[in-house]
Amino acid sequence: MKFQNIPPHINYGYVHDEDMRVLAIDIGGTKFTLGAFECGRLTLRESRITDRSGGPAWMFSQIERIFDEWRQKGFQPDSCGIGFGGPVHFSSQTVTLSTHVAGWAEYPLVENVKRLTGAPAIMDNDANVGALGEACHGAGRGADPLFYMTLSTGIGGGMVIDGRVYRGADSFAGEIGHLTIVPDGPDCLCGSRGCYERMCCGLWLERDYGKPAKELLLEPEFVRRYVVYLARGLKAALMLLNPARIVIGGGISKAGERLFVPLREELGRQMTSWSRARRTVVPAELGDDSVLYGALALAGTLQPSDLATTRVSQI
C-alpha cells in the first residue's frame, strides 16, 4: 500500500518485502502498542495503558499475552521491530534506561522478544523509529533530511539523513529533549535544568499547570507562551540540520493548527534573519502509529542472514 509512495530518488535501504510478516512493538511511558503487519498492511493492533510501577517484567508479560493470542489466530512473524521509549544503545541492541519507568536498564528486551516469537528482532529508541515511520510512510515522505520530534509524555528527536536514521557516534544523536531552553530553569529528571522536555512535555505541563496538555492547549494565552519555548528547540534543529521538513508527532501534536499556526509564526520571529533555511513544520500523518510503521521499516533492515541464523538456531 503505502510502500509505493516512497519517492524513487531517496534510497531508504529498507527491504519492503510485502510478503514479510512483521511484529511491531511500541513501548511508551504512557501506553504501549503491538501491531501485526501482513502484506504491508496493519492487520492486528492492540494498545494498552502502561503500568509504570510494573517495570519491564510486567510489560513483557503483557507483550507475551497479546502475542500468544495472535499466534493462536495464525500470526507468526518473520521479523520484529521495536521502538522503546527511552535511550537505546543501538549497536549493542540494549536499553540504556527509561527516564520515566524504573528497572529497564540493561533489561534483555530484544533477546526476550526473539525467544518469544522465534524470529529476529531489532530495536531503537521510539523517536528514531517514529522518524523512520514518518519518513517512509507518513508526513516526511520525500523530505530529506527529515527532523522528527515526538511531543508527548517526554520529548524525543530523530533525524533521517540520506534515507537512514542518523544515530551519531554512540547512538545518542537527536536527543533534543535535553537541550537547555531556559538556563537555570526548573530541575529536569535528567539532573540538568530548564531542558526542552522540562519546559514543554506533557508530563511536566500537567505537573506545572495542574491540567493535562490537551486542556491547556485550548487556551490561546497559554499557547502563545508555550510556543516561545517550543520554537527555541525547533530553531536549534533548523540551524544545525537545515532539514527539508520538521514533522511533529506525539499526543500534543494532535492539537493541530491551533498549535501549529502560532508555532510557525513564533519560529519565524526567532530564526536568524539571514537564514533562508526552510521552516516547514507539519504534524505527523500516522497519528498514534508512527512508531509501528517505523518498526516495520526497521525490521526491513534485518539481513536475510539474520533471519536464517535465527531459524537455524531454533531447529
Binding site for Zn ion (CB under 5 A): 178, 188, 190, 192, 195
* E strand or H helix that includes residue 232: helix 220-241
Closest contact distance (angstroms) between CB of 50 and Zn ion is 21
Based on CB atoms, which residue is closest to Zn ion, 44 or 182? 182
Based on CB atoms, which residue is closest to Zn ion, 156 or 249? 156
SS3 1: coil
How far is 244 from 62, CA to CA, in rounded Å? 39
Based on CB atoms, which residue is closest to Zn ion, 178 or 279? 178
SS3 116: helix
How far is 209 from 214, CA to CA, in rounded Å? 12
**Residues with Cβ within 8 Å of residue 55, at least 6 apart in sequence:** 101, 102, 103, 104
Residue owning grid cell 520525500: 142
Based on CB atoms, which residue is closest to Zn ion, 74 or 191? 191
How far is 107 from 207, CA to CA, in rounded Å? 29
Closest contact distance (angstroms) between CB of 212 and Zn ion is 21
Of 188, 193, 182, 192, the residue nearest 226 (C-alpha): 182
Based on CB atoms, which residue is closest to Zn ion, 136 or 188? 188
* Residue 164, strand partner residues: 161
Residue owning grid cell 526552510: 278
Closest contact distance (angstroms) between CB of 8 and Zn ion is 40
How far is 100 from 29, CA to CA, in rounded Å? 6
**Residues with Cβ within 8 Å of residue 17, at least 6 apart in sequence:** 300
Based on CB atoms, which residue is closest to Zn ion, 39 or 190? 190
Closest contact distance (angstroms) between CB of 197 and Zn ion is 6
Based on CB atoms, which residue is closest to Zn ion, 60 or 196? 196
Is the omega angle on the peptide bond into residue 145 within 30 degrees of 0, that is, cis? Answer: yes
Closest contact distance (angstroms) between CB of 183 and Zn ion is 13
Closest contact distance (angstroms) between CB of 199 and Zn ion is 10
Closest contact distance (angstroms) between CB of 185 and Zn ion is 10
